[in-house]
Amino acid sequence: MPHQLMGYDRAITMFSPDGRLLQVEYAKKTVRQGSTAIGMVCRDGVVLITDKRIVDGLVVAEAVEKIFQIDDHIGATASGILSDARVLVERAQLRAQQNRVTFDVPIDVLSIVKDISNLKQFCTQSGGLRPFGVSLLIGGIDETGAKLFETDPTGIYFQYWATVIGEGEPEIEEALKKEYKADLSLDEAIHLGLKSLYRFIEKDFNYDRVDGAYITHSGKKFTKLKRAEIERHIEEIKKSAPKRKDDKQ
């Protein structure tokens, strides 16, 4: 660390001389080291694809949760410290249910995003706290259509057509820029998400570490991807992938 920055990372409320909150920047680095998560808006709705990064064969893969249902019409995934994500998701679930009880209507996606972002921002300006070390992708369908948002540890949020967070961000983002189109069907969006993830983790790929979910315009229901769907897409991806020189003939 440069000499002029030493000591400025010991309190969340302290700005460095060049206007940086170093503890927040450390939280963002934690997100970049987290497992990959991809989100896309397509013609039929919203798709979330994620890598659970299960490296221990003794772990029960089905018990590792990285795709979260916030309400019938809203889902989320995360990268970074997943225990932080769980706290934020449970808060969002409560907020969604309160809205249904109070107003008898499903909550809009942006209200959920703002509520989570407000809490994240609060933790960047209060002594004795630390920033949430997690970014969330929140996708859903409300009266205004399909929405996909990303929130980062600073409390900033952006709306995207397609985005990725986590360790594979540079490579997968480049692939999405080349291949993503807003008029993709649900099946095509799932295929693109799985293909992008497969290409990044190819050597260490196994079906247990991949998870996904989608919400469609027609049903507005959060639906988890089935293992058979993932297997079908991955087999198609493997068949269409160009052979490498070191592959066995």
3-class secondary structure for 130-155?
A: CCCCEEEEEEEEECCEEEEEEECCCC
How far is the CA of 53 from the CAs of 17, 167, 169, 199, in angstroms? 38, 11, 15, 14
3-state helix, strand, coil in the chain (%, to 5): 40, 25, 35
* pLDDT at residue 17 greater than cutoff 90: no
What pLDDT shows up at residue 4?
54
Q: Does this model's pTM top 0.95?
A: no
How far is the CA of 238 from the CAs of 54, 105, 162, 191, in angstroms? 21, 44, 23, 12
* Averaged pLDDT score across all residues of the chain: 92
pLDDT tens-digit map of 20-43: 899 999 999 999 999 999 999 999
* pLDDT at residue 162 greater than cutoff 50: yes
Tokens of 70: 């916030």
Tokens of 192: 């693109």
pLDDT tens-digit map of 41-77: 999 999 999 999 887 888 898 889 999 999 999 999 9
Q: Which residues contact 103 (CB under 8 A, 6 or more apart)?
A: none
**Banded pLDDT at 127 (limits 50, 70, 90):** confident
Beta strand 162-165 pairing with 157-159: unpaired
With pLDDT > 90 as the criterion, what percentage of the chain qualifies? 76
What pLDDT shows up at residue 112?
98
- Average pLDDT, integer, range 203-214: 90
Q: State how far the Cα of 140 lies from the Cα of 178, in Å rounded to an integer.
A: 24
* pLDDT at residue 103 greater than cutoff 70: yes
What pLDDT shows up at residue 12?
85
Of 53-57, 95-99, 236-240, the least confident: 53-57
What pLDDT shows up at residue 249?
41
- Which residues face 163 on adjacent strands? 39
* pLDDT at residue 8 greater than cutoff 90: no
Q: State how far the Cα of 165 lies from the Cα of 130, in Å rounded to an integer.
A: 21
Q: Which domains, and CATH codes, for the chain?
A: 3-233 (3.60.20.10)
What pLDDT shows up at residue 242?
66
Question: Is 233:69 a contact under the CB 8 Å cutoff?
Answer: no
